[in-house]
Amino acid sequence: MSLARLIERTCLMIAFACAAATAAAQDVTVFAAASLTNVFEDIAKAHRAKGGGPVKFSFAASSTLAKQIESGASADIFASADEEWMNYLAERKLIEPATRSSHLGNTLVLIAPASDKRTIDIKPGFDLAGMIGSG
């Protein structure tokens, strides 16, 4: 999914949450993984540009946010970077199953100088410390 399409879809999600919150006279709260900070800040700008109201963000590790929700913290939208933490909340019936969808993913990359001709295969068990060495 393109970034533009992601921003559009998330703006719609925020708009729906805002409409529901306005009816209940509440602020909209979005809990999002820290790795999503930049894109969600862009989404908030686009949302405001379309006449949307304020949105309160809480950025942290998916595990931290999930535990806060489990402990009673309220979020209108939870954007987890880890599907297992979304599953964790689903198993405890702390999310609305019909609203769950997957839009994002992360990829780990390793950047090396062009002069480094080694072939690297990043997979489970990859020895990153050995790759970068002690220097």
Over residues 96-130, the pLDDT tens digits come to 998 888 766 667 677 878 888 888 788 888 888 88
Looking at the whole model, is its pTM more than 0.75?
Answer: no
What was the pLDDT predicted at 128? 82
Report the distance separating Cα 64 and Cα 66, nearest Å: 6
- Triad 52, 55, 60: Cα angle to 5°: 145
Over residues 1-26, the pLDDT tens digits come to 566 666 666 656 665 555 554 444 45
Over residues 55-71, the pLDDT tens digits come to 889 999 999 999 999 99
What was the pLDDT predicted at 62? 94
For domain 3-99, give its CATH number from 3.40.190.10, 3.20.20.70, 3.60.15.10, 3.30.200.20: 3.40.190.10
DSSP letter, residue 103: -
Please report, for the chain, the start and end positions of each structural domain, with discontinuous segments joined by +. 3-99
CA atoms in the 13 A half-sphere facing the CB of 128? 7
Report the distance separating Cα 86 and Cα 94, nearest Å: 9
Q: Which of 27-36, 42-51, 102-111 has the lowest mean pLDDT?
A: 102-111
